[in-house]
Chains A and B, each alone.
Chain A
Amino acid sequence: MADRTQVDRRFVAQASAFLSLRGIAKSFGAVRALDGVDLDIGAGEVIGLMGDNGAGKSTLTKIIAGNFPPTQGQIVLEGADVVFDRPAAARDAGIEVMYQDLAIAENLTAAANIFLGREMTRRVGPFRLLDHRGMNRRAGELFRELKSETRSDDLVKQMSGGQRQAVAIARTRLAQAKLVLMDEPTAAISVRQVAEVLDLIRRLRDGGTAVMLISHRMPDVFGVCDRIAVLRRGVKVADKPAGATSAEEITGLITGAIEAA
Chain B
Amino acid sequence: MSATSEFANVARVAWHRRGFFAGQTAYVTLAFLIICLLATWLSGNFATAGNLLNISRNFSYIALMSLGMTVVIITGGIDLSVGSVCALVAVCSMIVMRWVAGSPLGGLPYASVVVPVVAGLALAGAIGLINGLLIARLDLSPFVTTLGMLSICRGLTYVITQGRGQAPSGPDVATFFALTNGRLAGLPVQVVYVLMAAAALGVALHHGVWGRHLFAVGGSEPAAVRTGVRVSRVKISAYMLCSLAAGASGILLAGWLGSAPANLASGYELRVIAATVIGGANLAGGSGGPIGAVIGAALIEVIRNALVLGRVDTYWQDALIGLIIILAVLVDKLRVLQTK
Contacts and interface: CB of A to CB of B under 8 A. Distances in A.
Nearest to B211: A130
A117 B219 contact: no
Interface residues of B, number: 29
A140 B3 contact: yes
Contacts of A102: 223
Interface in B226-282: 226-229
Contact of A140 (B2, B216, B228): B2
Contact of A152 (B4, B12, B216, B227): B4
A196 to B, nearest CB: 13
A172 to B, nearest CB: 11
Given A140-B2, A151-B4, A105 B215 contact: yes
B208 A130 contact: yes
Contacts of A91: 228
Nearest to A160: B10
Contact of A105 (B2, B10, B223): B223
Interface in A124-167: 127-130, 132, 136-137, 140, 143-144, 149-154, 158
Given A88-B228, A151-B2, A151-B5, A128 B219 contact: no
Contacts of B316: none
Interface of B, helix, strand, loop or mixed by DSSP:
loop
Nearest to A97: B226
B168 interface: no
B21 to A, nearest CB: 14
A112 B220 contact: no
B170 interface: no
Contacts of B12: 151
A103 B3 contact: no
A121 B9 CA distance: 32
A108 interface: yes
A49 to B, nearest CB: 20
A214 B188 CA distance: 63
Interface residues of A, number: 37
A103 B220 contact: yes
Contacts of B226: 97, 99, 103
B13 interface: yes
B224 A116 contact: yes
A185 to B, nearest CB: 15
A107 to B, nearest CB: 4
A112 B2 contact: no
A259 interface: no
Contact of B13 (A104, A118, A158): A158
A194 B207 CA distance: 36
Interface in A75-110: 88, 91, 97, 99, 101-108
Contact of B219 (A108, A127, A154): A108
Contact of B286 (A105, A119, A151): A105
Interface string A53-95: 0000000000000000000000000000000000010010000
A130 B209 contact: yes
Contacts of A149: 4, 7, 9-10
A108 B216 contact: yes
Query: Which of B3, B4, B207, B208: most chain A Cβ within 10 A?
Result: B4
Nearest to A135: B212
A144 B222 contact: no
A21 B227 CA distance: 25
A118 to B, nearest CB: 8
Interface string B94-129: 000000000000000000000000000000000000
Contacts of B286: 105-107
B335 to A, nearest CB: 14
Given A117-B227, A117-B228, A140-B3, A130 B207 contact: yes
Given A104-B220, A118-B228, A129-B207, 10 more contacts: A103-B220, A103-B222, A103-B226, A105-B224, A116-B216, A117-B227, A132-B207, A140-B3, A151-B2, A151-B12
In the A-B complex, list the 10 residue pairs whose CB atoms are closest, starting with the nearest: A105-B219, A117-B228, A107-B219, A107-B286, A117-B227, A103-B226, A103-B223, A116-B227, A105-B220, A129-B207
22 contacts: A99-B226, A101-B222, A102-B223, A105-B220, A105-B286, A106-B220, A107-B215, A107-B218, A107-B286, A108-B215, A116-B212, A117-B227, A119-B209, A127-B208, A137-B3, A140-B3, A149-B4, A149-B7, A149-B10, A151-B4, A151-B7, A171-B227
Interface of B: 2-5, 7, 9-10, 12-13, 203, 207-209, 212-213, 215-216, 218-220, 222-224, 226-229, 286-287
Interface of A: 88, 91, 97, 99, 101-108, 112-113, 116-119, 121, 127-130, 132, 136-137, 140, 143-144, 149-154, 158, 171
